[in-house]
Structure 1
Amino acid sequence: MAAGLPGDHRYCGRRRGGERLRPAARRPAWLHRPRGRTTPPLRAVGLHPAGRRGDRRYGGRRQDQPGHTGSSPDGAPGRGVHRRSQRARSRPFARGPGRGPGRLPQVARSARRPVGRPGPGCPYGAVSRPTARQAGPDPVGQRRIRGSAVASPARYSLLGLGDADGAFAEASAAIGIAQEVNNRVGEAYALITAGRALRKLGDLEGARKTQETALSIAREMGGQDCEAQALNDLGATLVELAHGGPRRTARLRRRAVLVRIAAGVVVDHTRWGVNDGEPIGSAGGGAVGHTGRTAPPEPGGAQTVDELAARLRALHSWAGVSYREIHRRLAASRRRRGIAEIPVYNTVYRCLQPGRSRLDAELVVDIAAALLQDEALVAAWRQAHQVVAGRAADAAIVSVTDSIPADQGTFTGRSAEVAGLLAACDAGTTQFVLGGMAGVGKTQLARYVANRLIEAGHGNELQLSVDLRGFDPDRPPADPAAVLDGFLRRLGVPGSQVHALDLAGRARRFRQLMADRKAIVLLDNAATEDQVLPLLAQSPTCVTVVTSRYQLGGLPDVKCLALDVFTPAESLDLLRGIAGEEAIDADRQTAARIARLVGHLPLALAVVAGRITDSPGWCLGDHLERLTEHRERLRLEDSVEPALALSYEALPPERRRLLRLLALHPGRDLDSYAAAAVSGQRREQVVRVLADLVRASLLQPAAAGRFVLHDLVRVFACDRSRDEDRATVRRDALSRLFDHYRWAAAQAAAGYAPHEGSVRALVEDPGTECPQLGSRDLARAWLDAERSNLIAVVRAAAELGSSRPVTDISTVIHYYLDTSGYYREAEVLHECAVAAATDDASRSRAHNNLGCVYWRLGRYADGRDCYQRALDLTRKTGNRIGTGKAVGNVALGHFRLGRYLDAIDCFEQALTIFHEENDERMSSASTVRGGLGWSLLRVGRTAEALERFDESLRIARLLGDSTFEEAYALANVGNAHARLGGRELATEYGEAALALSRKLAFRSGEVDALNLLGRVRLTGGEPRVAVRLQQEALDLTIDIGSRAMTVEIRNDLGASLMAADRLDQALEEHQLALVVAQTLEDRYEIARACHGLSEVLGRQGADGAAYRERAVALFVDLGTPEAAEIHATY
């Protein structure tokens, strides 16, 4: 084997004589040994002459120790490798790009850490066998292994044994390796260990420099855990250094406290001698315990999941409790309270790690309780989680458009910047950041340049635009995962497939789809580099323009342009362009003073120019005087609010009133119908006033027929509304707005799904004007445009205690969100509805809808609980139809869990209710019959199943022509005929289902039909045709992102592949099916996968009895006929 990883006992790279290499490592010049100490020579080592026990650096232990060997066959000094690793067989490397066949380096197994996936206690860089196997033996792969293993466990174990010399040598070698492979995070961890070793050796200045370098690298790379370790170590080192002169001591004491606070350690200032000059107590590198010292960290102020997790980690450091002890306390607490669900250890560990996108509320509270041991302090953590969850939900609601907004009037100024950007784009630069203060004109410049690039052909294939809300006063910055969700949907990716991808997966898919596509992406109002980085297409044919109040210089391959305020000449040009040359040139000196008074800020200049245009009787001196007066009593920046106030006060009363009420809208943009609703006026009147506000530069046009308030204008108008409008006026305006969205959403839902007529009947006409939404296309377009506004309206109504808009909107748009795959928005919406509902009927509907969302998200236990609550509530209300739907949903839960007899009972109860209420011409009746048919099919009652499927098809056709329900029913009838041996009828129904599904672009129905046709061809002796059809179904299923459907298709495809004598591929499909089915806890598909594996292994001459026995046991437990079929075969 080639030389492995020097300095790392896990990779036994040796010379032929069994000696391991440990080369000298490159390290910074200042990283040196303390004076007076000698460095052991770095040499090839075998068995140490003294036979030091437990020291991994010396090739092992004495020859006479049980379980070890001390010599090689040629008599060389003993290799000292544990016999388990000697017995382990070499494994071939996986093939891949740039990798050839080879042998896997052996990994020594220690008693402290088993080989495999690194656990919570494993230091950074530990490499598992799968990781090593993927790396390959070639130079590139070897560098990968070395780069990921720079944090050698030997460094930690040697420090624990008190061998600081050895730990320093190991860390030095690791630093050299990390620098060689450019592994910056690994280098930081190695520097941390080197700093600890130097501190033990007494070289405090060397330790401080080392730790400061590690801290710098950690911050550069964004490694939060690494940064916390470096901060904590640096704080301890600074304390020891503080025993010098008085001035230096005080300075270092204060810095140590600040550093340790930044590391998340709660510090007692009195104990640390910062306030009163008391001697500093003993301090180690770890967190300070809490007993009798300080109050615990509080969660207040956390705005994001990461911030809450950081506060939870600070509480962990304060408590000084191990992860195992937290898990023990948590489990004991839940058992005392009778809670059956107890999280595993890893769940508790991950909850305390950075990088979380979601935290379970009860788990956070239970961990806090385990750490605090005081129930009175726990309530604050529950409240903090509610705040963070609300902001996270808001951040996930984003509106993406597939066009760049048109230029607003005549663009003035920035000629040099425009020319530079266009020239840079022609030269090959494709990523730009326009930075500058609020109101400096970043968005206007970005739109102008984007439209010029489109005219030049740079983005003629696709345009994408999104407001990232980086500095929105009312809503958190947009979540990049949600932005990518919108981008991918605009690029044609199904919502269910997008939902199956995490942030990295979405970013990767976005870049794949944008490759070689001539496109322009406008990312407006960005907050940070982290928000923007996943959204960069990084394609030479895609131009991305980012605007932000910051420069965002940390982004890769971007050209940053800092925008300043206008020059005096540009300011006058802007005033001329809006107010007219005659008015400005008549008194250029006063015009220049006005420009100076508003700081040459483009937004303020535009507002002033609009005011000048609307006041023909005023001279420029009058405007200057009024601006000077307003400057002294304002709330915003001095350059902004005088201009806004002057223009506002010059407006007629109706325009001022509309501007104030528009600022109350909880969403980002709005159309003229919403403006009419909030104002309480006719739409024709409001359209004219909106146009006047646009001309006054107080309102900005967005997409066709939509308008946006600038952030500064919104803040100004909200303040004026609070000053000038009574609270009842504001409440009435919002009430009208809520009613408008309730009614419009109901109309859109009726157009989107006409057969769901009962939903529309829940909402009465409030008398507000509403767009025409009768067709499915118009309804879909309105729902897509208003989706984020609807969620914002629901959240605003919930905060104001107005329950009716929350529950009605939740009910009417549920079908749209469900079929479109907007599961995150649906979860937020329905959770609000559950909390806001004031009557049992509304609570029942909300729980039903939320249960459906949980089901889609794979949270089956939560979904089952919601369905059961909905059933209990509908029974209380006496709503028989609602009870029937709820019972049907509970039956679906039983079916998924393999309780087929319970499912049959529930489905039949639901049908009895529908029959008694004479309400069988509804989609739920068709769905329930379909579910009953499948339950009967699973237990072998095929003839009865066919009857139910026929009834389901009949009802589906009564709902209207070409519905999703009809496509499902056709495939179901075909499946029943296939089980009964009617191949011709099965083929007929399958082809009809396939044609209808493709007509409706109904991909799930297409999958069912293709799989059905594949099974029919397999029973007809055409396995190759079956494989082709089922492979097409599998590809579609993967695109859709449904894991449950994927399992079924893989098992069917495996059977077809086995019939086609493609045994290796069949084995792989059944193995993949088994893995996913076990994740989903789908016992039926687990049994099918095991049976398939036993069959394939038998054909290959291997023993598949264990798989077969497991399959039979599961089929017997499920009560399905497959168990008898297998017994009959064997």
Structure 2
Amino acid sequence: MLGPMLIKVGNRGAMSPGRLQSTLLGVLLYHANQPVSVDALTETMWGDRRDPRAGQKLQLHVHRLRNVFAEADRLTLGPAGYRLTVLDGELDAQRFASRLEEAREVAAEEPKVAVTLLRSALELWRGEPLGDVDVPVLTDWAHRLAELKLTALEALYEAELACDPNVAVTGELAELVRQHPLRERLHGLLMIALSRAGRQAEALQAYRTARDTLVDELGLEPGPQLRELHRRMLAGDAFEPSAGGGAATAPAQLPMDVLGFVGREAELEELDGLLVTEPGAVITAVAGTAGVGKTALAVRWAHRARERFPGGQLYVDLRGYGPEQPVTPEDALAGFLRALGLDGAAIPHDLDERAARFRSLTARSRMLVVLDNARTVEQVRPLLPGGSSCFVVVTSRNALAGLVAREGAHRLHLERLPNEDAHLLLQMLLDDRVDAEPEAARELVRRCARLPLALRIAAELVRSRPGRGLGRFADELAAQQAVLDVLDIDGDPHTAVRAVFSWSYRQLDPGTARTFRLLGLHPGHDVDEYATAALAGAGLRDTRRALQALRRAHLIDSSSDGRFRLHDLLRAYAAELAASTDSAAEREAALDRLVGCYLFTASKAMDVIARDDYARRPEPPRFDGETPSFTTYEHAWQWLDDERTNLVEISRHGGPAAVIHLSQTIWRYLDTGGYNDDAMTLHTRELDATRALGDECAEAKARRVLGATLSRLGCDGDAMGHLEWALAAFRRTGERAFEVATLSFLGCVYSKKGELDEGGRWFEQALTLTDADDGWYLHCAVTINHSRNLVALGRADEALSHLLTIIPLCRQKGAKHLECNALLCLSRVDLHAGRLDSASDHVQLGLTLAREAGFRTLESDALRMLGVVHVRRGNHEQALRLHKEATELARVVGDTELIAENLNSLAAAQAAAGLLLHALDHYGNALAVATDAGHRQEQASAHAGIGDVHDRLGEHGKAGEHWLRVLALYRGRNLLGAREAQEKLLHRGTTRAVRGR
């Protein structure tokens, strides 16, 4: 198959089947040793051209194919379709994959053996795989095989470099890089080969070429492996070839391995076999009924196989079944992209873009992806990686037929435990009690339907009553099951599970039972004791006792951070009990208490995080229950982080007023933290709620925060649309404070876009509506934003006069974060004037205030400017430390403008310290962030810095190109940056180019 299809039988020469014969054979080989239905074969071979005689034609082609084989029973027909028997080693694609896997296993210890195995594997290739077949399922297989060949070539050169550091492979690697310019591992191997050949400058140029290609083609920076190799090369560190292919910080998201796991050896071996026999990317759909142990199997196998995935392991519980909302593909992808090293602000908003970015990142690594508890194919499909070296395990109660048909997934149907294994599990859980009453134990296994979940809960209940025999428990369970059987008209085998739940539930005291029922109403994924108490309408002490009782009964799981969650079956059962036991009014009251608890506690947390917010938060609702006390910023922020998903989820259930209240309460937390997905979800929901109520003023407030979020995402066009609508509404409704705030934010957006004059006009409008006496807070906030814009315009003296007026007012009012912001702006003026001592004093005080106030955006900015002061003083080591700390904090916050500005400052510090290639790298990163988000000022700063570095490297032509781009970005404005670029161009004799501009 590794070329045009050929059949070899015994000593006979190779035969080339015709097109239809090749298609038939290819499909049968794709499903080797598995039946393929007649309908599937005829559809593949003839498609829309099928006629009533298609079945007869298929029989004819099958007959001809049978005649080719030496054994007549190779190709048989059964009830499910045609089945082709293939033995180990008969298929060249299988032999290739097997040798590649063997080479991977020995490469670290025996690279010479790996070279031999890989060369023998690659010798099997005769051209394009399945080169004479053109049907979708086989074309996809051919692509995966071709991708696997590239993986083998990469492994071969890596092993050869490990055997002989001086091996001459640069020519071959350079040609492969030319053919496959987006494969980072090849770029890394070429860098290593060039460096070891003493061609250091070419090795570094190879990295710059790789980076330029990835940015131009994919809009992506190189991955962490290639960046780490580049860093080590610059530092002169020793490195091994695997630095080009191994993961620097591979994600490891698997849940804890399952305790008390029994059986499933055949299924585990089947999964092991797919790593060897299946070429390219493998998607395995583990399907089975609820509680049968799908997650346990997937997690157990994932832990067994994790060493075979050096690129890391990703895991997500998609929550496909149960009363709560399933995880959306957008949210799952956001989590994966963060785990793969993307900054929050760099994660695309659009689902298709996220999926494409995920495929691009995973295409470069051998990774395991576990998609647990999926509901539909549509929920899974965007989460599939793009690389042929990845392995995906999906668990679902759904058979996911579409995944099998379109993506060629391998389906593994998980049956209930065999009797022997179920008995063994019960024995592990109950020790000698099973041996003492074997008949009762067998009856208990039967009553639990051989389902692991039911057996575990039943065993815990048995252990809790040591004085009672197993036989009595089995009798009680039988009686309870009979009651449920009457209710279960469809004969659902999960009556057994419900019976075990019911049996366990009936042992609870009334208060604990009520707590369990009401937990089924919670719309989120996990819960703390305070929210549980609110649901139950109970005190914290009683709630803690109930939660511990539920945990001991295995009806809930607890985590080390004091949170609790229910298995989806138990959640559904609890919700079912609540619906049948508690009245609609009681259930509604429980949810009202929960909403009230979350809104009240969120308000308390925000009172600590943002005490003096110019957008006044609504008064918290009355709530009489117990809530956590927040004495520090860190505690309040941690609570919001822990509950963020629940807060967004609860907004679905509290009605329009609750959605609006929540959005107006926590918008600043979401904005400051860079939680753009949740902000978009909540604020969009708020916008819909305000429209439903017909409240124009509330709608304007929703658009204001939605505009702020879109601006963070770099969508300034959409952001301005919302902000301008909000501004008009605030003017109509007379909301002066919100009008001022919106004017100021519009000024910030224009300033960020590089339209400084337009930004100034918005700030000036805002200032005409405020004064220092009436509305001092907004007056100070707008003045600070206006002053920053004036500094960028080169009007530092005007900025200074404004700032000296408002800083005493901020200090008098105790507004630490406003004073901090003003001091940092004042330090920009000082730096502009060269007053380093004054700048240092102002920054130090500003940094202290930022940390006291808990504003990480301002803390990052203060660290950055303190680093600038140290650069000017020549303290390069201290400057670099500060800039790195500032940049890391900016990435945590997720503000694209802050990230770009910090990256530019870090690059400037590295250039000042003589680390020119490091500086080029960070200037390039800054340029990528700024370009993607439309921050023209930071684009210009990046181009100016890149030009300066190229000039110092003697690359004057490249330097001139970047300085010209600076002029283009300033659009003829006579600003400091433009004047400096023009002077550099004139100095280098490129006046003609300048005049042309």
Following the alignment from structure 1 to structure 2, what is the Cα–Cα distance between the partners of residues 661 and 883? 44
| Distance verdict in 2 for CA 1:605–1:1087, change over 3 Å | closer
Following the alignment from structure 2 to structure 1, what is the Cα–Cα distance between the partners of residues 460 and 914? 79
| Larger relative contact order (Cα-Cα within 8 Å, sequence gap ≥ 6) | 2
Deviations 1:655-694 (A, max 9, x none): 4443332211111121222222222233333333333433
Following the alignment from structure 1 to structure 2, what is the Cα–Cα distance between the partners of residues 452 and 1094? 51
Taking structure 2 as the reference length, the TM-score comes to: 0.59
Query: Of residues 429, 453, 475 in structure 2, which corresponds to 1:603?
Result: 453
Q: Report the counterpart of residue 70 of structure 2 in structure 1.
A: none
Taking structure 1 as the reference length, the TM-score comes to: 0.53
- In the TM superposition, what is the alpha-carbon distance from 1:990 to its structure 2 partner? 4.4
Letter in 2 for 1:719: E
Q: Which has the higher helix share?
A: 2
Q: Report the counterpart of residue 20 of structure 2 in structure 1.
A: 208
User: Is 1:27 matched up with 2:4?
Assistant: yes
| Distance verdict in 2 for CA 1:1108–1:728, change over 3 Å | same
Q: Report the counterpart of residue 593 of structure 1 in structure 2.
A: 443
Following the alignment from structure 2 to structure 1, what is the Cα–Cα distance between the partners of residues 594 and 916? 63
| Distance verdict in 2 for CA 1:216–1:1008, change over 3 Å | farther
Query: Of residues 35, 39, 51 in structure 2, which corresponds to 1:242?
Result: 51
Q: Report the counterpart of residue 900 of structure 1 in structure 2.
A: 756
Following the alignment from structure 1 to structure 2, what is the Cα–Cα distance between the partners of residues 571 and 1028? 61
Q: Report the counterpart of residue 687 of structure 2 in structure 1.
A: 834
Deviations 1:890-922 (A, max 9, x none): 2212323444344334324434544377342x4
Following the alignment from structure 1 to structure 2, what is the Cα–Cα distance between the partners of residues 532 and 245? 37
**Contact kept? 1:1030, 1:1052, Cα under 8 Å:** no
Following the alignment from structure 2 to structure 1, what is the Cα–Cα distance between the partners of residues 944 and 616? 45
- In the TM superposition, what is the alpha-carbon distance from 1:724 to its structure 2 partner? 4.1
| Distance verdict in 2 for CA 1:766–1:842, change over 3 Å | farther
User: Is 1:782 matched up with 2:782?
Assistant: no
Following the alignment from structure 1 to structure 2, what is the Cα–Cα distance between the partners of residues 959 and 594? 71
Q: Report the counterpart of residue 871 of structure 1 in structure 2.
A: 727
- In the TM superposition, what is the alpha-carbon distance from 1:643 to its structure 2 partner? 2.8
Following the alignment from structure 2 to structure 1, what is the Cα–Cα distance between the partners of residues 292 and 763? 63
Query: Of residues 538, 544, 553 in structure 2, which corresponds to 1:681?
Result: 538
**Contact kept? 1:746, 1:763, Cα under 8 Å:** yes
**Contact kept? 1:751, 1:779, Cα under 8 Å:** yes
Listed as ranges, the matches of 1:895-1044 within 5 Å are 895-915=751-771, 918-920=774-776, 922=777, 925-951=779-805, 953-954=807-808, 957=811, 963=817, 967-990=820-843, 1002=856, 1005-1006=859-860, 1009-1010=863-864, 1014=868, 1044=897
Listed as ranges, the matches of 1:1028-1107 within 5 Å are 1044-1045=897-898, 1079-1084=932-937
Q: Report the counterpart of residue 593 of structure 2 in structure 1.
A: 736
**Contact kept? 1:242, 1:250, Cα under 8 Å:** no
Q: Does the residue aligned with 2:651 lie in a helix, a strand or coil? A: helix
- In the TM superposition, what is the alpha-carbon distance from 1:933 to its structure 2 partner? 0.3
Q: Report the counterpart of residue 658 of structure 2 in structure 1.
A: 805
Q: Report the counterpart of residue 181 of structure 1 in structure 2.
A: none
Following the alignment from structure 2 to structure 1, what is the Cα–Cα distance between the partners of residues 668 and 42? 55
- In the TM superposition, what is the alpha-carbon distance from 1:624 to its structure 2 partner? 2.3
User: Is 1:847 matched up with 2:724?
Assistant: no
| Distance verdict in 2 for CA 1:1068–1:218, change over 3 Å | farther
Q: Does the residue aligned with 1:832 lie in a helix, a strand or coil? A: helix
- In the TM superposition, what is the alpha-carbon distance from 1:788 to its structure 2 partner? 1.3
| Distance verdict in 2 for CA 1:873–1:510, change over 3 Å | same
Q: Report the counterpart of residue 3 of structure 1 in structure 2.
A: none
Following the alignment from structure 1 to structure 2, what is the Cα–Cα distance between the partners of residues 233 and 570? 42
Letter in 1 for 2:759: A
**Contact kept? 2:325, 2:523, Cα under 8 Å:** no
Q: Does the residue aligned with 2:564 lie in a helix, a strand or coil? A: strand
- In the TM superposition, what is the alpha-carbon distance from 1:832 to its structure 2 partner? 0.9
| Distance verdict in 2 for CA 1:758–1:959, change over 3 Å | farther
Q: Does the residue aligned with 2:527 lie in a helix, a strand or coil? A: strand
Letter in 2 for 1:730: R
Q: Report the counterpart of residue 694 of structure 1 in structure 2.
A: 551
Deviations 1:796-834 (A, max 9, x none): 33xxxx012212222222222222221111111111111
Listed as ranges, the matches of 1:213-612 within 5 Å are 237-238=46-47, 240=49, 242=51, 244=53, 414=262, 437=288, 438-441=290-293, 467-472=317-322, 474-477=324-327, 479=329, 482=332, 485=335, 495-496=344-345, 525=373, 565=416, 589-608=439-458
Query: Of residues 516, 525, 540 in structure 2, which corresponds to 1:668?
Result: 525
Listed as ranges, the matches of 1:721-732 within 5 Å are 721-732=578-589
Paired residues, number: 746
Following the alignment from structure 2 to structure 1, what is the Cα–Cα distance between the partners of residues 821 and 570? 52
Letter in 1 for 2:639: W
- In the TM superposition, what is the alpha-carbon distance from 1:943 to its structure 2 partner? 1.2
Range 596-605 or range 1007-1016, more displaced? 1007-1016
Deviations 1:22-68 (A, max 9, x none): xxx9411379xxxxxxxxxxxxxxxxxxxxxxxxxxxxxxxxxxxxx
Following the alignment from structure 1 to structure 2, what is the Cα–Cα distance between the partners of residues 728 and 626? 29
**Contact kept? 1:436, 1:442, Cα under 8 Å:** yes
Q: Report the counterpart of residue 112 of structure 2 in structure 1.
A: none
Following the alignment from structure 1 to structure 2, what is the Cα–Cα distance between the partners of residues 645 and 912? 69
Deviations 1:500-540 (A, max 9, x none): 9966877999999999xxxx99986467997887699x99x
Following the alignment from structure 1 to structure 2, what is the Cα–Cα distance between the partners of residues 1008 and 1046? 13
| Distance verdict in 2 for CA 1:1014–1:681, change over 3 Å | closer
| Distance verdict in 2 for CA 1:1003–1:1024, change over 3 Å | same
Following the alignment from structure 2 to structure 1, what is the Cα–Cα distance between the partners of residues 796 and 765? 20
Following the alignment from structure 2 to structure 1, what is the Cα–Cα distance between the partners of residues 252 and 922? 40
Deviations 1:609-630 (A, max 9, x none): 5666789996743442342343
**Contact kept? 2:454, 2:496, Cα under 8 Å:** yes
- In the TM superposition, what is the alpha-carbon distance from 1:835 to its structure 2 partner? 1.0
Deviations 1:246-273 (A, max 9, x none): 9669999xxxxxxxxxxxxxxxxxxxxx
Q: Report the counterpart of residue 822 of structure 1 in structure 2.
A: 675
**Contact kept? 2:254, 2:299, Cα under 8 Å:** no
Query: Of residues 866, 884, 891 in structure 1, which corresponds to 2:747?
Result: 891
Range 844-853 or range 462-471, more displaced? 462-471
Q: Does the residue aligned with 2:629 lie in a helix, a strand or coil? A: coil
- In the TM superposition, what is the alpha-carbon distance from 1:441 to its structure 2 partner? 4.8
Q: Does the residue aligned with 1:763 lie in a helix, a strand or coil? A: coil
Following the alignment from structure 1 to structure 2, what is the Cα–Cα distance between the partners of residues 464 and 237? 40
Following the alignment from structure 1 to structure 2, what is the Cα–Cα distance between the partners of residues 700 and 1059? 55
- RMSD of the TM alignment (CA)? 6.2
- In the TM superposition, what is the alpha-carbon distance from 1:931 to its structure 2 partner? 1.1
Letter in 2 for 1:762: E
Q: Report the counterpart of residue 129 of structure 1 in structure 2.
A: none
Letter in 2 for 1:937: V
Range 1085-1094 or range 751-760, more displaced? 1085-1094
- In the TM superposition, what is the alpha-carbon distance from 1:851 to its structure 2 partner? 1.3
| Distance verdict in 2 for CA 1:549–1:966, change over 3 Å | farther
Deviations 1:703-740 (A, max 9, x none): 44322222122223333433444433332222221111
Following the alignment from structure 1 to structure 2, what is the Cα–Cα distance between the partners of residues 241 and 493? 49
Q: Does the residue aligned with 2:771 lie in a helix, a strand or coil? A: helix
**Contact kept? 1:834, 1:843, Cα under 8 Å:** yes
